Structures are given as structure tokens and as C-alpha cells.
Amino acid sequence: NAGVTQTPKFQVLKTGQSMTLQCAQDMNHEYMSWYRQDPGMGLRLIHYSVGAGITDQGEVPNGYNVSRSTTEDFPLRLLSAAPSQTSVYFCASRRDREETQYFGPGTRLLVL
Amino acid sequence: AQSVTQLDSHVSVSEGTPVLLRCNYSSSYSPSLFWYVQHPNKGLQLLLKYTSAATLVKGINGFEAEFKKSETSFHLTKPSAHMSDAAEYFCVVSDSAGGTSYGKLTFGQGTILTVHP
């Protein structure tokens, strides 16, 4: 049982490049979420999903796309990276009707 | 709507002395509240959670927190700090609207705890 895994751990992009941050969980959790962490701002919700095929926007969705084709995977796509997207990104999952969310180890992204 | 305010961005204590990290929240519904800890360059680890049971919640590593509805507070305490407690701590409220829990978390800004020898 690996829990929540994220790849890559670290990435450097140039402005305008695209990439996908991968997130997977093996706990059969219905809910998955993406957060970004910036200094002094805690974690802010980007997008979330309540099940396969269902996604919704969080607090800061602009510049990011998501999809949920399977229960296990919830990739986050940056279509055209901007320096403002330099951040640490965390994926989380939880079971329906349970409060505790489980976080992945994070992806550190630098956009030049 | 819900929000969380952590009243101190930095707290510094000596090893062996008590720790107090303060958190106030606002929520339109009966909230679920959490404290998470993040050690440098690590992910987030759940310390403890309040979900409408006992108001005094005990967590891992000797931490505990008390839910005070009248004060809308959920302060984190530990009787005696250890060097390994040095980390950033986040107070978090969960959106549990009317029994249908979407589980969207709202984070406080974080409190960095420094422990001096």
C-alpha cells in the first residue's frame, strides 16, 4: 500500500511550456484534490474530484486543467506555464464520508 | 464560507517548555478541524482532528487541541517541546455542509515553530 504518490519530485520549466503532474493513490479513495503551497499562504485548493469522471474547480483553478478517468489517477496539467505557477504542488485523497485527507509528498515546480 | 486564521506566523520556544499555537476559525456549519505538521521539504502529516466528538483531542507526539465553540478557537498545545517538533504547523477547517461532506479543506497561513536547545 503506497498511499498517495506524486511524480516528478522536482521540475524546471520555461515560460510557455506544458507539463503534467502525476498523482496516483491505491486506497480506492473517491475524493482527490490538488493544492498549491506558497510561502505565507498555506495550501490553496486548485481542483478536486469526487469520483471518476467528475471534477470541479477550487479556489485557484486558472491555468490548470484536470481529468479523472480512473479512481486511482488524478493528473494536473499546466498548458502554458507561467512564473506565477512556481510553487509546491500537493495531491491528496480521502474516502467518501471520512474527514481525513492523505497527502502525497509534493512536486516542487520552478517556472523560469 | 469558511476561513482559518493562525494568529502567529512564527513561535519560538526552548526545549522542554510548553508549546501553544493559536488558531481561530469561522464556518457556516459545524466544522471539522485538523492540525497538520510539515517538516522541512516533507509532505503533510496529520497531527490530530476534531469531528464533533470530544472537545479535547489528543494527537500524535504528545500534541493536543481543544475545540472551543464559544471562542471559535482550536489551539494546539504540547506540555514540553522537543527539538524534533521544529516544523511548520497548519490549522485546517473542512467543509462539511449539512451532512454532505465535500471535504474541501481551507488552510491557515501556517505557524513556523522553532525549538531552541
**Higher pLDDT residue, B99 or A29?**
A29
Interface check B30 vs A, CB under 8 A: no
Shortest Cα distance, chain A CAs vs residue B50, angstroms: 9
Strand B111-116 and strand B10-14: the pairing is: parallel
Q: pLDDT tens-digit profile of A41-61?
A: 888 999 999 999 999 999 899
Q: Does B52 touch chain A (CB under 8 A)?
A: no
A46 and A23 in contact (C-beta within 8 Å)? Answer: no
- Return the closest-CA partner of residue A94 out of A33, A5, A13: A33
Residue B17: Cβ within 10 Å count: 12
b/e map A70-104, b = 16+ CB within 10 Å: ebbebbbebeebeeebbbbbbbbbbeeeebebbbb
Mean pLDDT on B8-22: 97
Listing from the earlier edge strand, what are the strands of the sheet with A64-66? A4-7, A19-25, A76-78, A64-66
Answer yes or no: do B104 and A40 touch at CB < 8 A.
no
Q: Residue B97 pLDDT > 60, yes or no?
A: no
Residues of A in contact with B44 (CB under 8 A): 43, 90, 103
Residue B15 to chain A, least CA–CA distance (Å): 25
Find the angle CA(A72)-CA(A69)-CA(A94) to the nearest 5 degrees.
40
The answer to whether the beta carbons of residues B109 and B6 sit under 8 Å apart is: yes
**C-alpha distances in angstroms, A61 versus A35, A36, A47?**
10, 10, 6
Closest partner CB to B108 (pick from A42, A97, A103):
A42
Chain A hits for B104, Cβ within 8 Å: 33, 45, 48, 58
Write the residue in B9, B104, B109 that is nearest to A45 by C-beta: B104
CA gap B40, A21 in Å, rounded? 21
CA–CA dist B69, B29 (Å, integer): 12
Convert the pLDDT of each residue in B40-64 to its tens digit.
878 889 999 988 778 899 999 999 9
Q: pLDDT band for position A111 (50/70/90)?
A: very high
Residue B96: the pLDDT is: 60
Please provide the DSSP assignment of B54-97 as one string: -SEEE-GGG-EEEEETTTTEEEEEESS--GGG-EEEEEEEEEEE
CA distance A6 to chain B (A): 11
